[in-house]
Amino acid sequence: MSTSALRFALVGNPNCGKTSLFNHLTGARAKVANYPGVTVERRAGMVTDIDAPVELMDLPGTYSLHVSSLDEKVARDMILGQMAGEAPPDVLVAVVDATNLRLGLRLVLELEQLGRPMMLAINQMDAARRRGIEIDTAGLQEALGIPVIETIALRKPGSAQLRATIAEAAHRFKEQRAKVISDDEAVRKESVEAVYDRIETLLDAHVRMPAEQTNWQDALDRVVMHPVAGLAILFTVLLTIFQAVFAWASPVVDLIDGGFGIMGDLVATYMPDGILKDFVVDGLIAGVGGVLVFLPQIVILFFFILLLEDSGYLTRAAFLLDRPMRGVGLSGRSFIPLLSSFACAVPGIMSTRTVPDPRERMITIMVAPLMTCSARLPVYTLIIAAFIPEEKVLGFFNLQGLTLFGLYLAGIVSAAAAAWVLRLRHIREEFPLLLELPSFRWPSPYHLLIGLRERIWIFLRRVGTVILALSVLLWALASFPAAPVDAVRPAIEYSFAGQLGALMQPLFAPMGFNWQMCVALIPAMAAREVAVSALATVYAVGAASSELALGQALGVSWELPVALAYLAWFVYAPQCLATIAVVRRETNSNTATAFFTVYLFALAYLAAMATYQIASLFL
């Protein structure tokens, strides 16, 4: 960004349309990063099609300068110039929802008291007109003494007047730079009663509401917010998302996986044998493929989250689920991240940014990997098929299916218990879930595409490089040193990974694990499903993809208690390095990451040991 550019900041309540305005004003050429020292995202870009250098920032949504959540604190610190390493905005662009001016004007009046140059954008004017709401913007402009602009964020022409006003302000204030405001200077000069009295005066003088405000939105709210019908609708919506993440992603995942497999085969065919070929095929190509195979799930998951958010439904879902979630110390805001973790814990943890309470967000991050992700399924199905007979229970249920359901249920119950215990570490503060219900609206395709692009880039940048580096490291551990010429055992047994497996075996002896099982746990650190091919390697099964042959080999080598203990281990262990890496990125804390890793490994160890000992006693 140019150092000579004036800094304008979009400030407003959540769901008021700031981000849509930002995308139109910057042409979606935004720089997305984190604020210094926190994981809250910041967007900054240069305003296009004006003759002055203007940097525009999209600040997190806030209802007031008197804040409680992480997002709101970041917005407040940026406005006051108290964010370390960040210059304060020179001009404030307050954005309010035209259908709910009463709520938005509180923040506007607080910002006015700071004495900063500012302007007011009244957004969603088309929705207000459809509802019969009449707003005298010229009268508001005169009463407030600042420019007041009508905008429609979902349409590109709807921001043209705001762009022109920003250009005019950039010329007017080009020599004026904002200064840091102390906390004393930021204290509200008016009482709460005086602020709301002024809001009512402004609304009475310049806003005319329709005599009858009941409309289709109110009727729809009565259905989707109903305590019974609303939960049924929510269950249907979530089930659709849950199925889509699995069903829609599978063909693309297979395509990506097959593409990298073909690439690896081509390289293996034309490159001469040697360590370089092994590095390119098993290290680089396999590492990049391991990153991109997550991408379809990321895209589908965030598409639905953005769709629900833009439509106004996600906030209503949080209200519906708030009561049952509070029973385990969380709230309705945590449900979507936990649901996302059934597909993959990485996007689930990333989506916890929607949780404003820092403690609740941290707890949600800590328990998200306990949801059974799709990467565990190959391990589960392999071992269940090898050890659990395909019998009918009560003449209807399949025993193998019940076992799989039990593994899913174990993860859910354990997540609830862990959340309850983690919440006990903090003083219990009971606050009701206070959220503004935004209007229902058609999502903007442009906004959806921009949001997806940002999420994809964040995933690839934050996680991709980490997975690639660690995949190469694991390849090296499994490849060196090479087996001697007269080797009679599998090559992996002579490698560092094999030696490490032998060292690990005494530690895992209370669970009945042999050294081959320990070796399979090492490459499974890159991705859980890799454990299947690792087991095929150490048991010298001819075709790694032949689950039948591998299952027969395991059935001969393992006892049932050992198999059950191995399943228990995979229910809890945070074996995906991408998950650990994204926890580090999202919490920005080595301590939190270490606690996350240690407590889940401890749970896995205790669960596997208890399963083995109890199963050995009774089976």
- List, for residues 209-233, the tens digit of each pLDDT value: 876 655 677 788 888 888 888 888 8
Cα 82 to Cα 73, 77, 78, 179: the distances in Å are 10, 5, 6, 10
Residue at 215 is within a domain: no
Same domain, 15 and 152: yes
Residue at 167 is within a domain: yes
- List, for residues 506-546, the tens digit of each pLDDT value: 999 999 998 888 878 877 776 676 677 677 666 655 333 44
Q: Kindly tell me if the per-residue pLDDT of 170 is higher than 80.
A: yes
- pLDDT, average across residues 233-246: 74
Task: Find the range with the poorest average confidence among 19-33, 144-158, 401-415, 602-616.
Answer: 19-33
Q: Which amino acid is at 80?
A: L
**DSSP structure string for 466-495:** HHHHHHHHHHHHHHSSPPPTT--S-GGGGS
- List, for residues 587-600, the tens digit of each pLDDT value: 888 999 999 999 99
Question: 94: helix, coil or strand?
Answer: strand
Q: Kindly tell me if the per-residue pLDDT of 604 is higher than 80.
A: yes
Residue at 462 is within a domain: no
Domain boundary among 208, 240, 261: 208
Same domain, 294 and 338: yes
**Distance separating alpha carbons of residues 397 and 184, to the nearest angstrom:** 67
pLDDT of residue 277: 82
Q: Kindly tell me if the per-residue pLDDT of 118 is higher than 90.
A: yes
Same domain, 148 and 262: no
pLDDT of residue 543: 36
For the chain, the domain total comes to: 3
Task: Find the range with the poorest average confidence among 39-53, 223-237, 451-465.
Answer: 451-465
Task: Find the range with the poorest average confidence among 184-193, 331-340, 373-382, 486-495.
Answer: 184-193
**Distance separating alpha carbons of residues 322 and 333, to the nearest angstrom:** 7
Residue at 491 is within a domain: yes
- List, for residues 424-449, the tens digit of each pLDDT value: 865 555 555 555 666 777 787 877 88
Residue whose entry in the numeric block shows the structure tokens 């209503």: 316
Same domain, 521 and 613: yes
CATH assignment at residue 39: 3.40.50.300
Question: Is 89 within 8 Å of 7 (Cβ atoms)?
Answer: yes
Q: Determine the structural domain holding residue 272 and report its residue range.
A: 232-373+401-429+443-454
Look up the pTM and report it: 0.64
Same domain, 197 and 245: no
Same domain, 156 and 255: no
Same domain, 50 and 155: yes
Residue at 236 is within a domain: yes
CA 25 remoteness from chain centre: 26
pLDDT of residue 40: 60
Same domain, 505 and 591: yes
- List, for residues 294-324, the tens digit of each pLDDT value: 678 778 877 887 888 778 787 787 778 777 7
Residue at 214 is within a domain: no
Same domain, 183 and 279: no
Cα 417 to Cα 149, 328, 524: the distances in Å are 51, 7, 26
Same domain, 447 and 475: no
Residue at 166 is within a domain: yes
Question: Is 351 within 8 Å of 365 (Cβ atoms)?
Answer: no
Same domain, 197 and 239: no
Percent of the chain with pLDDT over 90: 22
On average, the pLDDT of the chain sits at 80
- pLDDT, average across residues 407-414: 87
Same domain, 302 and 447: yes
Residue at 368 is within a domain: yes
